[in-house]
Amino acid sequence: MRNSALDPRWHGRLALGLLLAPALLWLGALIILPHVDLAVLSFRERIGPRQYTASLAQYKTFFAEPLYWHVFLRTAAMSVIATFLTLALAFPIAWIIAKLARGRAGSLLFIICLIPFWVSETVRTLGWMILLRESGVLPAMLVKLGLTAMPVELLYRDATILVGLVYTSLLFMVVPLVSSLESLDNSLIEAAYDLGAGGFAILRRIVIPHAAPGITAGCIVVFMLTLGNYLTPTLLGGKNSQWFTEQIYTQFITRFNWEQGAAFGFLLLGLSTALVMMGLRISGQRFGDVMRRT
């Protein structure tokens, strides 16, 4: 013990090395190397049993086969729509929590809003299936109210997938919105009002610029989670879901075509990264700050 303490510099290096090892092992063996491997996989083609050659064939297939890129674009578009719907739905609630509710009521409401998200997505999706399927609660209610003659199937529609995605994402929007709205000084709003600004002008020129970091953070996280979601689209959309993660699963697990699956994975990762970068560029945010906010 005394010996190693003699040279404090050596001691410090040892400590640093011991702290660095788990981090490097984690990031190296579970994040960086697997992704390099995935890239290598996606750029090769099988030409015989256990024989491969470098090629762009997997990416060519993606563009040549309309089904693949249709599903890809559809997933992207639906994710963008889901993100904006989540923002529209979460903003008033965040406003109520941060600005309207007084004292303990605000924190209580906030906790109430968080509760459903402690339960796993599987359970929440089960709830939506019981509510929406043809023999489910809502179709039965519609019949009882006389709005429809027969129970209608509410599952397996695009709108259903959106409802499920928005529901799953709400928490990740509400949390950053509340924290960015709470830091907004009320006297700024009062000043704008005294100077004659209407509600819309206050929202556009004071509230939104101030909350922009929170809005960006929420949108980025929600978009990524939606894009990468598998459970909600496949269960609520059934065969009509056509979600891109499903294609990846099919290639990887069902067809055992890992090269194609890897290429699909990279395309999804590329899309996700590109839109995140775009979001950051538009709002002038830094990645680290955004992630720490959520």
Partner 1 sequence: MIPSLPRPLWLRGATAAYLIAFLAFLFLPLAVVAVFAFNNAPYPAPPWHGFTLDWFLGNAAQGRIGLFADSELLGSIWTSCIVAVGVTALSALVGMTNAFLIERGQFRGKQVLSILMLAPLVIPGVILGISILAFASRIADFADDSFGLELDFLRPGLPLVVLGQFSYIATIATLTISARLRRFDRTLEEAALNLGASKAAVFRTILLPYLRPALLGSAAISFLMSFADFNTTLMLVGADTPLTVMMYGRMREGATPVLNAVSLFLMLGSAVLALTLLRRSRSPRMKSAR
Which 222-281 positions form the footprint of partner 1 (CB under 8 A)?
Answer: 224, 227-231, 234-235, 245, 248-249, 252-253, 258, 261-262, 265, 268-269, 272-273, 276
Taking CB under 8 A as the criterion, the residue among 190, 204, 254, 255 binding partner 1 is: 190
Report residue 158 as tokens.
Answer: 């695009």
Taking CB under 8 A as the criterion, the residue among 78, 155, 162, 170 binding partner 1 is: 170
Restricted to residues 70-129, the positions that interact with partner 1 (CB under 8 A) are 89, 92-93, 96, 99-100, 102, 107, 110-116, 118-129
Q: Which of 152/202 has CB closer to partner 1?
A: 202
209 binds partner 1 (CB under 8 A): no
Q: How far is the CB of 195 from partner 1 (least distance, A)?
A: 13
Q: Which of 53/254 has CB closer to partner 1?
A: 254
267/102 Cα distance (integer angstroms): 47
Taking CB under 8 A as the binding criterion, the range among 60-68, 154-162, 167-175, 210-218 that sits at the site for partner 1 is 167-175
Taking CB under 8 A as the binding criterion, the range among 52-60, 66-74, 186-194, 210-218 that sits at the site for partner 1 is 186-194
| 214 close to 177: Cβ distance less than 8 angstroms | yes
Count of residues near partner 1 by CB under 8 A: 88
172/151 Cα distance (integer angstroms): 34
Angle formed by the axes of helices 158-182 and 208-227, nearest 10°: 140
Which amino acid, one-letter code, is at 266? F
| 231 close to 123: Cβ distance less than 8 angstroms | no
228 closest CA partner among 249, 207, 209, 255: 249
| 70 close to 243: Cβ distance less than 8 angstroms | no
Q: How far is the CB of 284 from partner 1 (least distance, A)?
A: 18
Taking CB under 8 A as the criterion, the residue among 14, 27, 67, 274 binding partner 1 is: 27
Q: How far is the CB of 158 from partner 1 (least distance, A)?
A: 19
Assign 150 to helix, strand or coil.
coil
38/265 Cα distance (integer angstroms): 8
138/148 Cα distance (integer angstroms): 11
Helices (H) and strands (E) in the chain, counts: 16, 2
Taking CB under 8 A as the binding criterion, the range among 54-62, 80-88, 188-196, 208-216 that sits at the site for partner 1 is 188-196
Mask for 139-158, x = binds partner 1 (CB under 8 A):
-x------------------
